Amino acid sequence: MSLSRRQLHGVWVAMVTPWDEVQAAPRRDALARLVDRFAQAGVDGLFILGTTGEGTLLSPEERKVFAEATMEAAEGKLPIIVHTGHDRTSIAVELALHAKAAGAAAVAVSAPARYRLDESELETHFLLIAQALGDFPMLLYDIPCATGNPLSVGLLIRISEQAPNVMGAKVSRSDWEAWEGYLALAESMALFVGTDTMCLPALEIGASGIVSGPANLLPELYVQVYRAVRGGDIAQAKACQDLVRRLCQAVHYGTPLAFIKEGLEVLGWAVGPTLSPLRPLRPTERAELRQALTQLSEAATTGGARR
């Protein structure tokens, strides 16, 4: 079931993709366990096949298979936003329509990444996808560090005026000037902060929620940050945000991505290795990660977030 703009809020885990490269298929047992883990942690939904989800390393057909498997595992438990961005507009349309038909709550679409596009090209790309979806909710996904194509607030406004189903954006940027522009639209748009170190300030002044990759590891911590801000307990929110910062440092901000996937294994949630060409962790990296996650897990689950 699709969501309204006001339902697009809270904590959404940018979920890893448990995938067997040999079988070219989802690791369904790991996926089911992970979905249950996140539901029990109190998150509001899942964001799949984005950067943390290795979506661009899968073929369009593999992305469809994984989206279907995730929605099957999450049915009745958590809504799902599917990232359906692709360099080719027609394939992005195809993936978006598939997600809609398969039962997603919304889609998120990043800019193409191969070519540097001007705003007229970006506008045409996003509008073709949005209009193909009819009234089904769509978010722009602004992640210029990955695509090389930053999105502007003006672009979001122009697209949403022509396609009202474009309800907001997931913004993975750390430049505050860009965020100031986005947050000026907070009353009328769903705005998700995708840069973990900015969760607290962005939520304080209008962001709708969080979409986080490191939240795969300690989802409860992100739920604490969000609920503390919404409840007006800024001291608690600051303490939780400090733990988020430390978590991001422990996983090297997800670079390489194996810090998150192997971190899940350290915590007892094995999901398999990263996809080629992403590398596994070195033994020293794995040992340091284990030590850091043990300390952070204790702090997050025993009240250590409150000072």
Q: Are 247 and 221 in contact (CB under 8 A)?
A: yes
Amino acid type, 115: Y
Evaluate the omega torsion of the peptide bond into residue 256 and state whether it is cis, within 30 degrees of 0: yes
Report in angstroms the alpha-carbon separations of 262 from 248, 279, 280. 14, 11, 8
Q: Are 167 and 189 in contact (CB under 8 A)?
A: yes
Q: Are 270 and 30 in contact (CB under 8 A)?
A: yes
pTM of the shown model: 0.95
Q: How far apart are CA 216 and CA 46, in angstroms?
A: 10
Chain-centroid distance of CA 211 in Å reads 4
Residues 267-287: what's their mean pLDDT? 96
Q: Are 190 and 167 in contact (CB under 8 A)?
A: yes
Is the per-residue pLDDT at 112 higher than 50? Answer: yes
Is residue 71 helix, strand or coil? Answer: helix
Per-residue confidence at 3, pLDDT binned at 50, 70, 90?
Answer: confident
Q: Are 109 and 141 in contact (CB under 8 A)?
A: yes
Is the per-residue pLDDT at 34 higher than 60? Answer: yes
Q: What is the per-residue pLDDT across 49-92, written as a single tens digit (0 to 9) for each?
A: 999 999 999 999 999 999 999 999 999 999 999 999 999 999 99
Q: What confidence score (pLDDT) does residue 202 get?
A: 95
Domains of the chain: 5-233 (3.20.20.70)
Q: What is the mean pLDDT of the chain?
A: 95
Is the per-residue pLDDT at 300 higher than 80? Answer: no
Q: How far apart are CA 147 and CA 118, in angstroms?
A: 13
3-state secondary structure 4-50: CHHHCCEEEEECCCCEECCCCEECHHHHHHHHHHHHHHCCCEEEECC
Q: How far apart are CA 118 and CA 169, in angstroms?
A: 19
Residue among 267, 257, 273 nearest 292 (CA): 267
List the beta strands (DSSP E) in 84-236. Answer: 106-110, 138-142, 166-171, 190-193, 209-212
